[in-house]
């Protein structure tokens, strides 16, 4: 499950970072040159985390947009379109942050890297197919399955995992981590709001077919 992935990712990145900092402290070098000498493993893990999450947010955005276009309920269409737009912005920020940190793009095997949440979204796309119009029940059923996605992308990823792993990397690259922390906190809050909104939409749509 994705919670296992988060725990493993958090442990491995912390392990690598701590090991590198021991070497840095021994050498007594704290300037940007250290950033260039950091192991490829560190850069690869952080880069893959940011880029794959950016790809994942974009995938989620496309699914919400697809649902908004297919829903026959006006409120659902508006709400889902709004979530889609915010998820797209999250994707853009993650990509630009990776670029700012001078990380080479690595979005290889993101489906395997993200795990269950990714395959859940892909399967929902397949379930929807090319249907132009979805009933309230179909939209509600799809949104129920999306709960795992919003839970995955909420605070435990943005506030509790990613921010810890880019803190030292950002410092070495001369980036203000405080600004990044504020933005990540805002994204986490928006993801929690998405979850609440999706739950409210499910309840609302249920009334249309009960």
Q: Report how far residue 33's alpha carbon sits from residue 173's, in angstroms, rounded to the nearest whole number.
A: 9
pTM: 0.78
The predicted pLDDT at position 85 comes to 96
- The pLDDT, as a whole number, for residue 24 is 44
* pLDDT reported for residue 112: 84
8 Å CB contact between 62 and 83: no
Give the pLDDT score at 29. 43
Domain encompassing residue 191 = 2-206
* pLDDT tens, the chain, 210 aa long: 344 445 555 555 555 555 544 444 434 444 445 444 555 666 677 788 888 889 989 999 999 999 999 999 999 999 999 999 999 999 998 888 888 777 777 667 888 888 888 888 999 998 888 778 888 999 999 998 887 676 665 555 665 666 766 766 666 566 667 777 788 778 878 888 888 899 999 999 988 666
Domain CATH for 40: 1.20.1260.10
pLDDT attached to residue 32: 45
Torsions phi, psi for 86 (to 5 deg): -70, -40
Spatial distance between the Cα atoms of 48 and 98, rounded to a whole number of angstroms:
9
When divided into structural domains, the chain yields a total of 1
**Cβ neighbour number for residue 22 with a 10 Å cutoff:** 10
Measure the CA–CA gap between 204 and 19, rounded to whole angstroms.
51
Alpha carbons 161 and 174: distance in angstroms, whole number: 21
3-class state of residue 131 by DSSP: coil
DSSP for residue 132: S
Q: Residue 22 has which token pair?
A: 């021991």
Q: Which residues contact 47 (CB under 8 A, 6 or more apart)?
A: 98, 103, 104, 105, 106
- CB 56 within 8 Å of CB 117: yes
Pick from 61, 28, 20: which is nearest to 44 by CA?
20
The pLDDT score that the predictor gives to residue 43 is 66
């Amino acid at each position: 499950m994705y919670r296992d992935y988060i725990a493993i990712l958090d442990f491995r990145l912390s392990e690598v970072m701590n090991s590198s900092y021991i070497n840095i402290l021994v050498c007594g070098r704290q300037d940007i040159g250290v950033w260039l000498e950091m192991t490829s493993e560190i850069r690869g893990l952080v880069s893959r985390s940011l880029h794959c999450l950016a790809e994942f947010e974009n995938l989620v955005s496309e699914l919400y947009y697809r649902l908004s276009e297919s829903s026959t309920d006006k409120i659902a269409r508006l709400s889902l379109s709004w979530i889609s737009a915010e998820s797209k912005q999250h994707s853009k920020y993650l990509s630009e942050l990776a670029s700012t940190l001078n990380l080479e793009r690595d979005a290889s095997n993101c489906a395997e890297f993200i795990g269950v949440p990714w395959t859940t979204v892909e399967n929902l796309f397949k379930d929807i197919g090319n249907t132009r119009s979805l009933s309230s029940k179909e939209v509600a059923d799809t949104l129920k399955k999306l709960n795992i996605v919003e839970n995955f992308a909420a605070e435990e990823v943005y506030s509790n995992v990613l921010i810890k792993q880019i803190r030292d990397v950002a410092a070495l690259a001369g980036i203000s981590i405080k600004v990044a922390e504020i933005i990540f906190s805002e994204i986490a809050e928006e993801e929690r709001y998405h979850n609440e909104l999706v739950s409210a939409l499910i309840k609302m749509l249920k009334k249309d077919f009960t």
